[in-house]
Chain A
């Protein structure tokens, strides 16, 4: 399965600033996703990162707050803009490699704390 590297692994940020998270995959993949995991909670899909076009956002998430880039089939970035303490979460990059069923491989996540 694919190996995913996320940077940074953790960061402490000030309210009102923005942070970009990078996701690098060791092989070309079609589908890349960004998830949010709030403290003690399950995973919520933010968006599907589409190569060469705008990301597809889930209900409750907007491009102005979470701009996403996907310049090629191995790399994506998620920016958390104008952060507030409510944005403190683990942000996870994942890729789909399944054929007959959906199989996700995840990065280790980026733990953001907003003060």
Chain B
């Protein structure tokens, strides 16, 4: 059973469009992170959210942690080809527990 389900699994859109990726679970997480992975590389951390309802912005990327800390979303405004990659959410179940559970992943392709 996958603890963290991401949707959509695949997304291909034109440059300049907006998109939202969702990360859902029935479990409560102490913190949740988003990573982006490009081919031939390891995942790179984009953001960490720790407070229910928290919203963080990273340039054109907006991350939100659900009020109940069970879900999160990633919204990209005016997508660019450089946004192409595999987006992974990852949750920590306990405070001080370094083990992360990764989501199922969303493969995003931005078409120039």
Are A and B associated in one complex? yes
A105 cross-chain contacts in B, Cβ below 8 A: 45
Known: A45-B101, A103-B45, A104-B33. 17 other contacts (CB 8 A): A33-B98, A40-B107, A42-B88, A43-B88, A45-B100, A48-B98, A48-B99, A92-B43, A96-B98, A101-B33, A102-B31, A102-B92, A103-B33, A104-B100, A106-B43, A107-B42, A109-B41
C-alpha spacing A68/B66, complex, angstroms: 37
B43 cross-chain contacts in A, Cβ below 8 A: 43, 92, 104, 106
C-alpha spacing A98/B98, complex, angstroms: 8
B31 cross-chain contacts in A, Cβ below 8 A: 101-102
B18-40 at interface with A (beta carbon < 8 Å): 30-31, 33, 35, 40
Can you list 24 pairs linking A and B with CB atoms under 8 Å apart?
Answer: A31-B98, A33-B98, A42-B88, A42-B102, A42-B105, A43-B102, A45-B99, A45-B101, A48-B98, A100-B50, A101-B31, A101-B92, A102-B31, A102-B98, A102-B99, A103-B33, A103-B48, A104-B35, A104-B45, A104-B90, A106-B44, A108-B40, A108-B42, A109-B40
